[in-house]
A and B are shown apart, each in its own frame.
Chain A
Amino acid sequence: DTGVSQNPRHKITKRGQNVTFRCDPISEHNRLYWYRQTLGQGPEFLTYFQNEAQLEKSRLLSDRFSAERPKGSFSTLEIQRTEQGDSAMYLCASSLGPAGSETQYFGPGTRLLVL
């Protein structure tokens, strides 16, 4: 069990550019979550997959954001036309078990800075 991994760990981009982050969950975990954390705040939910199906999206996830989990394993989160307000830590988590009552395990995060 190698834990949840995320790449890249840091990303600096210019406003208007597109960025893509990757998350590899703990093997055999069927649920995968994306959260966003800004300075001084707790993480906020963005979206959630069960296997390859995206079951819920937060209203925080604007049209510029898209997430996929094509084979029910790793996931990508893409932000198009980045804005300075997108600067944050993007966290991925995975879990296994009955929905709503399972332990979520978090990756180390991807820190995004939009200049």
Chain B
Amino acid sequence: GIQVEQSPPDLILQEGANSTLRCNFSDSVNNLQWFHQNPWGQLINLFYIPSGTKQNGRLSATTVATERYSLLYISSSQTTDSGVYFCAVQGYTGANSKLTFGKGITLSVRP
């Protein structure tokens, strides 16, 4: 099945800093989503971005489908940005509805 790798596994930032989170995937995809998991376990949708670039406030994401990677940018980070960020993809082959998740990136933003 499709493999998803996220890097770095852990990231510590000072409040106000910018960061880039990376997601590599092993095959063509027709769906890619970025999530933020809060301390209570809720997965919050950030972006649906199988290709192209999107922005939402301080967050933006870019997916280069032909090179099989996606980037999530966080600018002017805040302590509330802390948590785990997941990239998840749906492949074209086999069970094409399930999401395959990476292991996540744990972000800690210090005041």
Contact = CB atoms under 8 A, between A and B. Distances in A.
Q: Is the pairing of A and B real?
A: yes
B41 A104 contact: no
Interface string B68-111: 00000000000000000010101010011111111110000000
B17 interface: no
A106 interface: yes
**Interface size bucket, B side?**
20 to 34
Among A31, A42, A45, find the residue whose CB has the most chain B CB atoms closer than 10 A. A42
Interface string B40-82: 1111010010100000000000000000000000000000000
A41 B103 contact: yes
B31 interface: yes
A55 to B, nearest CB: 8
Contacts of A104: 33, 99
A23 interface: no
Interface string A63-106: 00000000000000000000000000101010000011111111
Contacts of A91: 43
B30 interface: yes
A42 B40 contact: no
A9 to B, nearest CB: 9
A48 B42 contact: no
16 contacts: A42-B4, A42-B88, A42-B103, A43-B86, A45-B95, A45-B98, A48-B95, A91-B43, A93-B99, A99-B97, A103-B48, A104-B33, A106-B42, A106-B45, A108-B40, A111-B41
Interface of A: 31, 33, 35, 37, 40-45, 48, 55-56, 58, 89, 91, 93, 99-106, 108-109, 111
Interface of B: 4, 30-31, 33, 35, 40-43, 45, 48, 50, 86, 88, 90, 92, 95-104
